[in-house]
Amino acid sequence: MEIEITAMTSGPYGLGHHEGKAVLISGVAPGDVIEAIVAAEHRDYTIARAARVLHASPVRRAPPCPFLPRCGGCDWQHLDYAAQVRIKAELIAAEFKRALGIELPLEGLVEASPAEFAYRSRIRLQVGRDGAIGYHAAGSNDLVAIDRCMVAISESVPANVASQLGRRCRSIEVVADNGREVLIVDLAKTATSAEIAIARRMLESGRGIKGIILRCGGDRITLGDCIITLEPEAGCAIEAEADCFNQVNREQNRKLVAAVIEMAQPREGLAILDLFCGAGNFSVPLARRGARVTAVDADSLAIAAAARNAHRMGLRDTQFIAMKASETARFLARAHYHPDVVTLDPPRHGAAELIAPVARLKPASIIYVSCDCATLVRDLQALHSFGYEIAQVRAFDFFPNTHHAEVAVRALLT
- Residue 298 zone, left/alpha/beta (φ > 0; ψ -120 to 50; rest): alpha
* 236 part of the active site: no
Residue 177 and residue 316: Cα distance in Å, rounded? Answer: 28
Distances in whole angstroms, Cα of residue 229 to Cα of each of 38, 247, 309? 49, 12, 11
Which residue of the set 74, 226, 371, 373 is catalytic?
A: 371
Alpha carbon of residue 164 to chain centroid = 30
Contact 127, 150 (CB under 8 A): no
The single-letter DSSP state of residue 190 is P
343 contacts: CB under 8 Å, gap ≥ 6: 260, 264, 272, 273, 274, 275, 282, 286, 366, 367, 368, 369
Contact 331, 307 (CB under 8 A): no
Bridge partner residues of 59 (DSSP): none
Closest CA to 168 of 217, 211, 122: 217
Catalytic residue positions, numbered: 371
